[in-house]
Structure 1
Amino acid sequence: MPVPGRPPAPLVLSATERRQLAELADSVDSPNLALRAKIVLLCADGRANKDVATALDITPATVGKWRQRFVRLGAGGLRDGVRGGRPRLLDGTRLNGDSRPASTRELAARFGVSQSTISRRTRDTTVHRHPRLPDPVPVVAREATLLSDHVYEAVRGWIITGQLPPGSRIVESDVAGALGTSQTPAREAIRRLALEGLITHRPRLGNFVTEISQVEAREAREARVLLETAAARRATGRLTPTEVSRLRLEVTHMRNAAKSNDIVAFREADLRFHRLVCALGGNSMLLRLWTTIEPALWQLQVVSSAMFTGDWNLMAARHGELVDALAGHDPNEAVRLFTAHGMGQSSTTRPRRSGPATP
């Protein structure tokens, strides 16, 4: 958390994030969104909240709010969030019989609200609240239990292929209508996807496709590498046979889960494995810090594994090699392997050395 009286650390933007924010800052149709993008860009230049507020003629509190929102949610967090209750729909998008769609300015004047409100209502109606589902494809199954499986596979496919982008709201009736089923199998499928982490339930708002920003993903990986490499360096060559056996047991659980294609069980065994590594590092603070970032790692794992098309058995084998390194006597080798693993560089192949081995 920011320390009172001390300016927050400068934001670090990737080239993609900076380009995206620059495009938003030039937005004419959404002045509020443009302002928020400018706030982030100025903060990324190392300016204090007060200086940014002065430059943009706003309050420091506003700067702090959108700065923190970007840190947590990325560029998507700069948009107005979905609000509770049913959105008020616009009863028309054309004025006076005009053949062209009305602009946000014209609609704002007609309904007596601001342009940003018009934009939010339109977005809530068309994107967040009711994302366009693929054309109806009736699902036929001989048993009710199998019907929910078919709905599950269909919705999961829409999510991992991007037809339902992160942040989209998933409505049971819409899913049922698109697939030609009742709402019961749709409800069961959504619950199953929520348990797997691909869908997130928000109280009083509904179910949404899980999303994680590029900033969150990068920071979670960096924090993971820092913690695990420290634990691995301390643990290498010092583990007892019992402790090594506990690690190998989790690898066995991963192998069994891979064989049965139980990705949820695989994820759980994976996180238990890495949690145990931090516990075996011999520093209780490492484990404490790990538990604080584990929720973010779980979400990141959910999103990344949904897109993973490789061999889960090979993924389990990579964890076996991590155990071998910990059971050996070369801390530098263990650090190298855990770094590559934490940054996602060793999903299916053992990372090669970039130079001669460290003596």
Structure 2
Amino acid sequence: MPDAGRPKSPLTLSVPERTALSQLAAAPRTSAAMRLRARIVLASAEGRSNKAVADLLEVTPGTVGKWRRRFLRMGMAGLDDGMRSGRPRMVDRVQLGATSITGAPTSMADSGHRPSTRELAAAYGVSQSTVSRRRREEVQHYRSGAGISVATSRPAPPPPGDTELLSDRVYEAIRGWILSGELAPGMRVVESEIARVLGTSQTPAREAVRRLAHEGLVTYRPRLGNFVTEISQVEAREAREVRVLLESAAARRATGHAPPEELDLLRIEVQRMIEAAGHHDIGAFREADLRFHRQVLATSGNSMLLRVWRTLEPALWSLQVVSNAMYAGDWGLMARRHLDLIEVLAGTDPEDSARLFAAHARGESSITRPAGRPS
């Protein structure tokens, strides 16, 4: 029985479009949102269903469908943010004018009355809901004392993009501290302290911590609070054993069958690892590394392998936070070793691939032929 509903329009990329999207997906200075949209289009162009792309990139099928449709309708320009319905995104002070939005613009200053939200919206060129929200935020900002400089040994995150929600900014900041080891396994994650350091209320901090707990990076202990997830030696050993099984099985299935486009996605992640190593950005290195291996699982064509891998990822995050902090070797060399993995996937010997991926998953010092010994 044919699928119900209107059939999807085929998404075919020209060589210039594929090149531009691949560059966009790998550009380190491009926003994470734009990189994700480029990867959605690239994966969709391979003939994958929305659900398959969503599983691969850890987004919803609706998100995949949205950016697929926008690309089909508008091309590369469709990946840029346009006007959105619903709650407005954050608008910075430059867009709202040099003065606080709770005050009147210069053109209204002599009128002698407090301007309405409608008047302020018209003056600044934003919606009334944006004006109301900014007023509430400024009141919260004042009451919390967030404008006061607070000394801290932990570096504040870089200024966020204009379109990021406040909770997303806080989430990315905490996540970055965990991935970089600034917040080490076992350290307590105090929402009020995070809010104080980042200059926000506790609400976005609380939402961010909940997201991190859902990912497995934070663990809640009753009557004690939230802590960066720790992993015991037993859990670490068990996680590695499961990883060896998953990756060797995926490599065996994918060898000789991986489309060139999927191998290109793996090369993009290796390039990101190399760039992260050059900038000593261990958090970015970890992210690219896990994306690389997640892509290998997806390339295997077995959705159950990918599903089990994703349940294992929180343990792998914690394991990397601990092991990477003790690693004193060459990060660039570690990144380039992944090129050997791509080479065997492009070959014709499934057992060779399975062996190399198993050695890599066990953390052996050499994954090149012939097999190295455990370090």
Fold similarity call, TM over 0.5? no
* TM-score, normalization by structure 2: 0.43
